[in-house]
Chains A and B, each alone.
Chain A
Amino acid sequence: MRTLLYLLIGIFFGITMFKSEAASWFRIYEMFQFQSFHMYGIMGSALAIGIVVVQLIKRYKLKSIYGERIQFIPKNKSVSRYLIGGIIFGLGWALAGACPGPMFTLVGAGFAPILIVIVFSVLGTFLYGVLKDKLPH
């Protein structure tokens, strides 16, 4: 039952990623050229509503459907890891035109070469795990 819920949320997410064109390489390029409001509108409106949602959940101490408190895990304080990691991510995001959600949506949409991006992003994550202790955090 829980698994079915996760699956339905994933399907809904995948459809939204494809139909919003957030999974399109062209939209990412256009965004970084500041030639369209589209991507900024998507992220801005998602964020604006997201902030309200999170605030309401906290204020009314909303419980999950399983009766547990909804938890928000705070991220560790640091600048270097977020900035350096973020820049590396951004370089790849603009080059491949896909981030870790949409890349899977594109598999379903039938773009076989995206599998190269996925395999290498798993490898990239592996590389991070190996080098983790040598990197500034």
Chain B
Amino acid sequence: MNAIMQPWPWYVSGPLISLVLFLLLWVGKNFGMSSNLRTLCTICGADKTSDFFKFDWKAQRWNLVVVLGAIIGGFIASNFLSDSAVVHINPETVKDLKELGFSSAGNAYLPTELYSLDALTDIKSVLILAIGGLLVGFGTRYAGGCTSGHAISGLSNLQLPSLIAVIGFFIGGLIMIHLLFPLIF
């Protein structure tokens, strides 16, 4: 039980993600979380604006149930399966982040500068979350998938498009962290 309460090492977490991939295939579905964002658009009435959202969203209900499960899973894991939610990142990373102004680095699960309730009153923090979300939503649909759909599902099936997309994910991430972060923070 003690091991469960600690953060799970990569060699436990990775195989468990492949188990999720297998379970979804086994129930006749595909692992891909970002399609839910499109489904949510359609439910909100986006099919009246663009044909891209004209599809039978009810056929995607199963995936929304997976999302609901992911929310419940987050609740269970943080409330009942964790002694402490501090993420022990590399001390070098902590030092870098403190220099950028993230004083919560090494002491929290998420940076309080962006994800605490206080951060909601800070216009810059809210803008960062909004722009981040906008880029994720736009990019994932443009690329036809996200980390689950491309990096796990697509690459597991050795699909070249997924490899290109994952290379793109990393180019984008590296540009953001190495070139844009020093300008933003």
Contacts and interface: CB of A to CB of B under 8 A. Distances in A.
B168 interface: yes
Q: Interface residue tally of chain B, by bracket?
A: 35 or more
Q: Interface residue tally of chain A, by bracket?
A: 35 or more
Main SS class of interface, A? helix
Contacts of A99: 33-34, 136, 140, 146-148
B173 A93 contact: yes
A25 B114 contact: yes
Contacts of B70: 10-11, 13-14, 17, 101, 104-105, 108
Contacts of B128: 95-96
A56 B8 CA distance: 27
B4 to A, nearest CB: 8
A95 B76 contact: no
A74 B18 CA distance: 19
A81 interface: yes
A109 B80 CA distance: 11
Given A19-B81, A32-B178, A129-B46, A100 B140 contact: yes
Nearest to A51: B156
B146 to A, nearest CB: 5
For B142, B154, B164, B184, the residue with the greatest tally of chain A CB atoms inside 10 Å of its CB is B142
Interface string B156-185: 111111101111111111111110100010
Contacts of B38: 125, 129
Contact of A21 (B7, B40, B50): B7
Nearest to A10: B69
Interface of B: 4, 7-30, 33-34, 36-38, 40-41, 44, 46, 49-50, 52-53, 62-63, 65-78, 81-82, 85, 87, 89-90, 92-93, 96-97, 105-106, 108-111, 114-117, 119-120, 125-126, 128-148, 150-162, 164-178, 180, 184
